[in-house]
């Protein structure tokens, strides 16, 4: 939830957390499918329900459709309204120049993107991990990079755009984050999931190092029931440069929301963000780049995890507890 607050990391008093703990547990106990239940939460003031309306939009012809204030497209028969209200999906900007893309494998959502058609670049990629889609051995190669077939031709980025520009093609949803199936892995190579990145930032750099840390430490059954992840680069005014017609972000970010209901602290939820300047950097001291979700929202102008009920969102987005993320 975006707020005009100080950049100082704020901690919610223990007494305040205790007061809302019962409510939070009630939300999660009412329905094991939290997205379906939260979608019906009428008290949520910034949910994507406002953007996509209340009439489900389901289709299967890969054409762009209007879903409330949002233009959207998906491969299969996914309910676009419910997709927009998943916990990992940030507040959609909507409008005629932006496109909400939902990539699916069979009946399962692989990841979602919001795409800026004017800049031909994404704001973010959003996905989730749980015990059903983690692990596996599927992998891809440089030959797998391809245009996103869901984006209208004139609004796509192309292989030629990324050719000989001095940058690597940096995944937002990493190919190593989707080894559960060949089809899911191949979708990570869509150019809509790519930003130009410096080699020593991406390959074996801070971005690559942090991705691996998240996979190895946070994406485990012991740490999470579900881990909701948003990753992207800055394409807001003044926060990118243009190279060969595409924006190159000045900063990259990751936002994580963890649900572990056996951990009763904050009702089983916790969140963290990481913010990195886009430059050659092989650091692995991740604590230096950790900030609260509130701080990341101020830096990016993006409202993360808006589909959480407001009382939960206020706590987890402002209360950064580094030891809870094994950062000391």
Is residue 157 classed exposed, middle or buried when 0-12, 13-18 and 19+ CB atoms within 10 A define those classes?
A: buried
CA-based nearest residue to 62, from 151, 189, 187, 188: 151
Dump strand ranges (E) for 12-151.
65-67, 70-74, 98-105, 108-116, 121-129
Separation CA 318–CA 8 (nearest Å):
10
pLDDT at 147: 98
Look up residue 149 and give its DSSP letter: T
Residue 56 is predicted with a pLDDT of 84
Class of the domain covering 14-319:
alpha beta
Residue 61 has a pLDDT of: 83
Between the CA atoms of 57, 94, 195 and 220, what dihedral angle is there, to the nearest 10 degrees?
A: -60
Give strand pairing partners of 259: 226, 269
| pLDDT at residue number 42 | 60
pLDDT of residue 79: 92
3-state helix, strand, coil in the chain (%, to 5): 30, 25, 45
Q: What's the average pLDDT block by block, 10 residues per block, for the chain (328 residues)?
A: 40 41 36 47 81 86 92 93 96 97 95 98 98 91 95 97 96 96 97 97 94 97 97 97 97 98 90 98 96 98 95 94 96
How far, in Å, CA of 188 to CA of 176, rounded?
9
- State the Cα–Cα distance between residues 283 and 175, nearest whole angstrom: 21
Give the start-to-end residue ranges of the domains of the chain: 14-319
Question: How do beta strands 70-74 and 98-105 pair?
Answer: parallel
Alpha-carbon distance 115 to 154, whole Å?
A: 13
Among 206, 210, 282, 198, CA closest to 241 = 198
The pLDDT score that the predictor gives to residue 58 is: 86
Q: With CA atoms as reference, report the closest residue to 301 among 43, 172, 169, 114.
A: 114
What confidence score (pLDDT) does residue 240 get?
98
Cα–Cα dist 68/127, whole Å: 22
In whole angstroms, what is the distance from residue 87 CA to residue 247 CA? Answer: 28
CA 136 and chain centroid, separation? 21
């Amino acid at each position: 939830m975006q707020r005009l607050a100080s950049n100082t990391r704020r901690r919610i008093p223990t007494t305040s957390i205790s007061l809302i703990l019962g409510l939070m547990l009630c939300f999660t106990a009412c329905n094991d499918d939290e997205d379906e239940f939260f979608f019906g939460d009428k008290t949520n003031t910034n949910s994507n329900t406002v953007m996509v309306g209340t009439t489900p939009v389901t289709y299967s012809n890969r054409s762009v459709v209007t879903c409330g204030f949002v233009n959207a497209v998906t491969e299969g028969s996914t309910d676009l309204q419910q997709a927009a209200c998943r916990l990992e999906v940030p507040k959609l900007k909507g409008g005629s120049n932006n496109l909400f893309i939902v990539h699916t494998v069979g009946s399962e959502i692989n990841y979602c993107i919001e795409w800026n058609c004017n800049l031909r670049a994404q704001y973010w990629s959003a996905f989730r991990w749980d015990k059903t889609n983690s692990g596996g051995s599927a992998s891809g190669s440089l030959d797998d990079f391809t245009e996103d077939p869901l984006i209208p031709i004139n609004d796509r980025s192309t292989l030629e755009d990324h050719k000989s520009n001095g940058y690597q093609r940096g995944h937002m949803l990493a190919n190593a984050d989707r080894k559960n199936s060949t089809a899911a892995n191949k979708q990570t190579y869509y150019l809509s999931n790519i930003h130009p990145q410096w080699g020593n930032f991406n390959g074996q750099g801070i971005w690559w190092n942090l991705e691996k840390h998240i996979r190895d430490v946070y994406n485990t059954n012991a740490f999470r029931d579900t881990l909701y992840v948003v990753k992207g680069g800055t394409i807001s005014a003044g926060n990118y440069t243009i190279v060969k017609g595409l924006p190159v972000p000045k900063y990259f970010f990751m936002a994580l929301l963890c649900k572990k209901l056996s951990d009763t602290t904050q009702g089983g939820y916790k969140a963290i963000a990481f913010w990195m300047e886009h430059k050659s950097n092989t650091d692995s001291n991740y604590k230096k780049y950790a900030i609260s979700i509130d701080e990341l929202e101020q830096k990016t102008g993006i409202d993360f995890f808006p589909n959480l009920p407001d009382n939960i969102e206020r706590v987890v987005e402002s209360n950064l507890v580094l030891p809870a993320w094994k950062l000391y």
